[in-house]
Amino acid sequence: MTLQSSRHNERGNSFSVSLFDMTSALSTALDLLDPALGSHQKRTCLIAAQIARCLNIAGRDYQELFGAAIFHDIGAIGLQQRLAMLEFEEHDAHQHAQLGALLLSRFPGFESYASLVRHHHVQWQHGEGATHEGEAVPLLSHLLYLADRIEILAQQHQDNLLAEIGHIEQQIAGAAGHKFHPLFVEAFLTLSPKESFWLDLFSSNLDRTLMAIAPFENINLDLEHMLRFARFFALVIDSRSHFTATHSAGVACTAEAIAMHLGMSELECTKIRMAGYLHDLGKLAIPSEYIERHGGLEPVERARIRSHSYITYDILGHIRGMEDVAQWAAFHHERLDGSGYPYHLGAADLPLGARIMAVADVYTALSEDRPYRDGMSRETALATLADEVQRGKLDDLVYTTLSRHIEEIEQKRAQAQIEEGLELEHFWQLALHPHSANHPDTAP
């Protein structure tokens, strides 16, 4: 990971964004998978960080704990798994931990978090939990496990939390040595009498509180790492459905190719590729059964789906320095005649990046197989786009650029989607057969 000063800079092809902002955005997006969990990952992170600080855990150990905690449930893609996490007594919790480790190992900046996440539901069992399935368990995995369980109890008693502190303390202390490492329980019991420890968890300023103790607030992602991070986002988004599995990669590659042929700068082309990877981020809030549906959607379901691009903007818009990427990504369903959604912007309000994204998204979607139809041929997809241009919905110049260079763009799109498909194939195999891989950190 490239270390830079916290000051944002954008000169020529130099561009950087706060790692904390990107990390916080992804954690927010993951918690959209089930509203009942709210900000579970962020609250767990805050609990783990406070206990670590109480024990003077610092440096690389603190950074890895913080990063692992804020992403610890990244492998719980399915709704049922996430609902099960609301229970204090877990049942078969190791599967989502293993899947989370697999996903984290795919991103060079997060591979060091994978082992902590993989073992974050291992119980201490009076020292037997020092190993699990023949592997050494990092001690900080036990701290993460404790923080996760404290957050679940706090969430269960949220309406009258301060009155229930004693009850929570009793449950945690009673499991010391058996479920939880005694050292971490002792530190928790030192912090627990402070009302602020509990009130911070459900404060509207949770992100600000986390930022104040984040170990990488002054670490920025350079352009190369931002692009990798965006592709990592796409891997998480697309892992929910076989039918849209490589959609984000296809849109990203198509949009970047169009932008290059339109003469956009190298920096702008990279940013538009990022926007392509991130454009469907808001779909994490949409039930997967809507996406997988073979038949038509009910009006209430269509209305729910139309919220996804707004959610994309709501998340990405909080990343300082990524304002243009957020707009390009979120406006991909807007149309020049104002008939799009969710903002009903018209031609005067839609920048070139957003126009490119709209064409790239429609073309890629038409070309892909969906539960209710086969993908269109190149000729049919282009003809459908041409009709949208004639109706004043899509940009003529962007469409003409796509059609003029379709052979080259199609080759690039196909290759990008093949590569994304290979990434996802191993993930799905592990999801179906969680014990088929010896260790997710060494997955191909």
Looking at the predicted structure, is the pLDDT value of residue 208 above 80?
Answer: yes
Q: Which CATH number fits domain 222-432: 3.40.50.970, 3.50.50.60, 3.40.50.2300, 1.10.3210.10?
A: 1.10.3210.10
Asked if domains 14-213 and 222-432 share a fold, the reply is yes
Which residue's entry shows tokens 């706090």?
154
Looking at the predicted structure, is the pLDDT value of residue 134 above 50?
Answer: yes
For 334-357, the pLDDT digits (tens) are 999 999 999 999 999 999 999 999
For 384-411, the pLDDT digits (tens) are 999 999 999 999 999 999 999 999 999 9
Looking at the predicted structure, is the pLDDT value of residue 9 above 70?
Answer: no
Confidence label for 42 from pLDDT (cuts 50, 70 and 90):
very high
| Of 225-234, 292-301, 358-367, the least confident | 292-301
pLDDT of residue 86: 46
SS3 per-residue string spanning 235-291: HHHHCCCCCCCCHHHHHHHHHHHHHHHCCCCHHHHHHHHHHHHHCCHHHHHCCHHHH
| Of 44-48, 226-230, 420-424, the least confident | 420-424
User: Which residues pair with residue 373 across a beta bridge?
Assistant: 370
Nearest to 293 by CA among 364, 241, 341, 333: 241
Confidence label for 34 from pLDDT (cuts 50, 70 and 90):
low
Which residue's entry shows tokens 């986002």?
233
Three-class SS of residue 349?
helix
Three-class SS of residue 18?
strand
Sequence-distant (≥ 6) Cβ neighbours of residue 363 within 8 angstroms: 254, 381, 382, 385, 402
Nearest to 247 by CA among 351, 401, 363, 354: 363
Chain centroid, CA 303 distance in Å: 23
Q: Which CATH number fits domain 14-213: 1.10.8.420, 1.10.3210.10, 3.40.50.720, 3.40.50.1400?
A: 1.10.3210.10
Confidence label for 3 from pLDDT (cuts 50, 70 and 90):
very low
pLDDT of residue 91: 52
Sequence-distant (≥ 6) Cβ neighbours of residue 118 within 8 angstroms: 97, 98, 100, 101, 141, 440, 441
As a whole number of angstroms, the distance between CA 315 and CA 43 comes to: 18
| Comparison of pLDDT for 94 and 135, the residue scoring more | 135
Nearest to 226 by CA among 272, 257, 280: 272
Average of pLDDT values for 162-184? Answer: 97
Which residue's entry shows tokens 């339109």?
262
Q: Judge contact between 356 and 259, C-beta under 8 A.
A: yes
Which residue's entry shows tokens 């997809």?
381
β-strands 10-11, 131-132 pairing: unpaired
For the question of whether the overall pTM of this predicted structure is more than 0.75, the answer is yes
Average of pLDDT values for 188-192? Answer: 98
Average of pLDDT values for 352-369? Answer: 94
Confidence label for 105 from pLDDT (cuts 50, 70 and 90):
confident
Which residue's entry shows tokens 């082309």?
269
Domain positions in the chain are 14-213, 222-432
β-strands 220-221, 131-132 pairing: unpaired
pLDDT of residue 37: 66
